[in-house]
């Protein structure tokens, strides 16, 4: 083990000149305790957090269910899944929240934009087993698990006609690293009621995952009045300079599509696993 640590340090010193490093991969919950009392305490704490949040949020009317039982069942599913590697895709905290929202909202149709390994589609279907679930990505070659009852399509979600959905609850989840204001307006145009956005960071932390500006603006930008006083955001990454022009009128148009919005609680302190900021948005009906 000591030889391995020395080797890691030597290699990382060499790679640091290229802003790279080797990081050992441990599966999520690899050190999970076997003590039943500790496990039950975790389920209770996660359930209490979710129940409090569901009672306070004003984006939708929640359907009642046994949250603690669901947390336990979802963790059991997750531990047997191929999604426990922390090197890409959503991790447990975020996936659990997707399952909880799907169960509490009980939509008739769910869209998952950004399939990747299939974790988010699996979580959404777990939460709403009777919903019609569609998962879209321009590259489906990386799917680790296909869930029965989920329709996978290798193209952008806007290329599909979902037809009239009058009176039905609809939910769309975006984890595709594209302009979130654009995605919000697309969802409104298609009469979706509720949208969830992954990686909704404020300006400063968002720069690390800007994808050259393709992922801007975030919903956080849409809600940021101070940002409207700037002409552009300029930053450097690995020696390159990037610029993102601020279009206040575009941000205002996206904000006009929002009825209410809130963030999911961060439960990473309970599980010890990283959690990215998710935002849920209730949209104005498309008039």
Which residue ranges form the domains of the chain, and what is each CATH number? 33-283 (3.40.50.150)
Does 210 have pLDDT greater than 90? no
pLDDT confidence of 11, banded at 50, 70, 90?
A: confident
Percent of the chain with pLDDT over 90: 76
Instruction: Indicate whether this model's pTM tops 0.85.
Output: yes
pLDDT band at 236 (very low <50, low <70, confident <90, very high): confident
Tokens of 216: 């801007």
Helices (H), the chain: 2-15, 36-56, 67-79, 92-105, 119-127, 180-189, 203-206, 219-222, 248-255, 268-271
- Determine the average pLDDT of the residues in 18-30: 76
């Amino acid at each position: 083990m000591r030889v391995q640590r020395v080797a890691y340090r030597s290699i990382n010193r060499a790679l640091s000149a290229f802003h790279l490093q080797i990081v050992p991969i441990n599966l999520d919950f690899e050190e999970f305790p076997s003590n039943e009392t500790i496990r039950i305490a975790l389920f209770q704490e996660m359930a209490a957090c979710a129940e409090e949040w569901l009672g306070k949020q004003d984006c939708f009317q929640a359907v009642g269910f046994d949250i603690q039982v669901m947390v336990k069942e979802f963790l059991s599913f997750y531990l047997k899944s191929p999604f426990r590697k922390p090197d890409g895709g959503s991790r447990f905290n975020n996936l659990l929240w997707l399952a909880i929202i799907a169960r509490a909202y009980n939509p008739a149709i769910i869209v998952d934009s950004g399939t990747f390994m299939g974790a988010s589609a699996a979580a959404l279907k777990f939460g709403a087993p009777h919903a019609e679930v569609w998962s879209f990505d321009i590259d489906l070659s990386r799917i680790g698990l296909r869930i029965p009852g989920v329709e996978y399509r290798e193209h952008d979600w806007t290329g599909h006609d979902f037809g009239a959905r009058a009176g039905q609850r609809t939910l769309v989840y975006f984890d595709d690293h594209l302009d979130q204001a654009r995605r919000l307006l697309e969802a409104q145009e298609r009469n979706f009621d509720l949208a969830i956005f992954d990686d909704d960071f404020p300006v400063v932390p968002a720069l690390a995952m800007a994808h050259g500006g393709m992922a801007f603006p975030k919903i956080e930008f849409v809600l940021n009045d101070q940002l409207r006083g700037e002409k552009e955001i300029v930053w450097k990454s690995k020696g390159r300079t990037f610029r993102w022009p601020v279009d206040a009128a575009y941000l205002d148009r996206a904000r006009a599509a929002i009825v209410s919005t809130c963030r999911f609680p961060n439960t990473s302190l309970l599980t010890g696993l990283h959690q990215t900021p998710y935002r849920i948005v209730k949209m104005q009906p498309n008039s």
